[in-house]
Amino acid sequence: MLAFAVIQLVLVARILLDLGVVPGGGRLGDLIVTYSDILAAPVQRAGSIFGGLFATGAGTGLNVKMLVALAGWSVVEGLIMRVVKKFDEV
């Protein structure tokens, strides 16, 4: 669960960075952008469908790829937690 929490924290930090809530300058901003891009890579294709509607650069507005990545990782977490709980009953 801790790994999924860290993944979701990085993606939420990127969303906040893109919306301008968190300042994007410095090393921390660069780390957030780098790791969030890595975590969003599996859903990059799905996010590019809506890419023309929203800005996609760091700090330039809503990034749909990050929203889709956050939703996708949440679904994966739910599925894994359900499977793990099912094995606990056996």
- 10 Å CB burial of residue 62 (0-12, 13-18, 19+) is middle
pTM: predicted TM-score of the whole model, two decimal places: 0.75
Give the chain's radius of gyration (CA, Å): 15
| Residue 8, CA distances (Å) to 1, 52, 72 in order | 11, 25, 10
pLDDT tens for 17-74 read 988 888 877 888 889 889 998 888 877 665 566 555 444 555 567 777 888 889 888 9
User: Considering only CA atoms, which of 68, 57, 69 is closest in space to residue 7?
Assistant: 69
